[in-house]
Amino acid sequence: METKIVSKNFDIPNAHTIEVALKNTRYESIHNLIFLKPQTVIDMIKASGLRGKGGGGAPSGAKWQLASDYIGEKYLVVNGDESEPGTFKDRQIIAKDPHLLIEGIIVTCFAIGAKNAYVYVRGEYEEFSNILQLAIDEAYAKNFLGNGAIIPIDITIHRGAGAYICGEKSALLESLEGNRGHPRLKPKKPEPEFYFGNPTLVNNVETIASVPFIVLHGAEAYRAYGTKDSAGTLLFAISGHVNSAGVYEVPFGTSMIEYIEKLGGGIKNGKKLKAVIPGGASTPILPAHLVKEAKLDYESLKALGSSLGTGGMIVMDEDTSMVKALKNLLRFYHHESCGQCTPCREGTSWVDKTMDKFINKSATHEDLQILKGSSKSMNGQTICVFAPAVSGVIDGFLKHFEDEFLECIV
């Protein structure tokens, strides 16, 4: 069941060091670039069906093309601001195989014509940023980076200040420019992001770490895994009430319940499955009967009323209070709203405080309508997808577990 492309070297001792990395295929794809044109690499990415693995799932090749088509100075920014509750896969790449990420950065910069790359790392990830910095220093020493390299580029790590909103790419760039991490208005036509006015490609860690396999083995080798519309594999993180929490790489299209039972080790203490948040905390919850139908790909989960997100599954057993679970999530979103948009700033505060009444079993039917109404007013009324995601979270809990909320009404 487990298929190792990105995670191939995870279990090799000291794979984070360049000596071991070089013995296990790292940096081999760079030698292929001598015989390839940048556009050829972009075409390979398009043909592979690689999609962004940071939550949005947008076709990577199309994003690369937008950046490549601009003339002048360009940048690559790697989003390592892994702040979504339930998601902890990117840090595994950084800790266990940082040279894979560096190799992917070099190939990507070659393809889009960038000379500088930034890795924006979650502020709390000091240990992992230190590991990555050591690997970058090793790569410079071996002339894989810098002026003496085949592809002369420079990589800089930037640690965030712990703001969840900076996982949103435009807020990340604002932060990287030294500004407050507020999302930007979206353009009316397809275009790349811009860093200090220069065209910039923003992809997450796992997306960039998937690139060397494609360049080394070809687009069809990557398409051999997954489904027609969701090609390749994903590092799915699983946590909660399971026996074997962790990160396991499987092809898109894998059965969710099979993943939970075989790789996740099943539900703890012989309990029954009650629900799963499938793609990190901002994706709508699925009850057990839908989990049994679900496949781990974008299209399947969308059809079931949820989304794949970042692939961070949070598993809940039969004893879980859905009221307490929603309160916990809304407290987080209330705290992390950047406050730029009124519907989000006021809405997340209102629903968080309203949930206190359900927790205290002093809610009224009017409070239930406040939750539903606030959810509607937050959806589609803001600059970024933060508030719509919160709306989806509320709607999912009320759709599938409204009876538990009704029990809290006096």
Burial class, 196, CB count within 10 angstroms (exposed 0-12 / middle 13-18 / buried 19+): exposed
Which pLDDT tens digit goes with each residue over 299-318? 999 999 999 999 999 999 99
Contacts of 115 (CB under 8 A, 6+ apart): 73, 74, 109, 152, 153, 154
Which pLDDT tens digit goes with each residue over 203-225? 999 999 999 999 999 999 999 99
Instruction: Indicate the helix (H) or strand (E) that contains 316.
Output: strand 312-317
Arch. (CATH architecture) of 18-223 = 3-Layer(aba) Sandwich (3.40)
Contact 201, 42 (CB under 8 A): no
Beta-sheet strands, E only, within 90-229: 116-121, 154-159, 193-195, 198-204
Q: Is the pLDDT of residue 56 over 90?
A: no
Query: Residue 168 is which amino acid?
Result: E
**For residue 391, which of 307, 273, 314, 295 has the smallest C-alpha distance?**
307
Beta-sheet strands, E only, within 144-242: 154-159, 193-195, 198-204, 233-240
233-317 CATH: 3.10.20.600
Which tokens belong to 307?
A: 């989304």
> Residues 173-190: what's their mean pLDDT?
95
What is the rounded distance in angstroms from the CA atom of residue 291 to the CA atom of residue 295?
Answer: 8
Contacts of 260 (CB under 8 A, 6+ apart): 238, 242, 266, 267, 273, 276, 291, 313, 315
Which pLDDT tens digit goes with each residue over 58-71? 999 999 999 999 99
Class of domain 322-406: mainly alpha
- The helix/strand/coil state of 321 is coil
> Residues 322-349: what's their mean pLDDT?
97
Global confidence as pTM? 0.97
Pairing of strands 116-121, 233-240: unpaired
What is the rounded distance in angstroms from the CA atom of residue 367 to the CA atom of residue 327?
Answer: 14
Domain boundaries, the chain: 18-223, 233-317, 322-406
The DSSP-derived string for 184-209 is PPPPSS---EEETTEEEEEEEHHHHH
Mean pLDDT value across the chain: 97
Query: Residue 266 is which amino acid?
Result: G
* Radius of gyration for the alpha carbons in the chain, expressed in angstroms and rounded: 22
Q: Residue 302, Cβ neighbours under 10 Å: how many?
A: 12
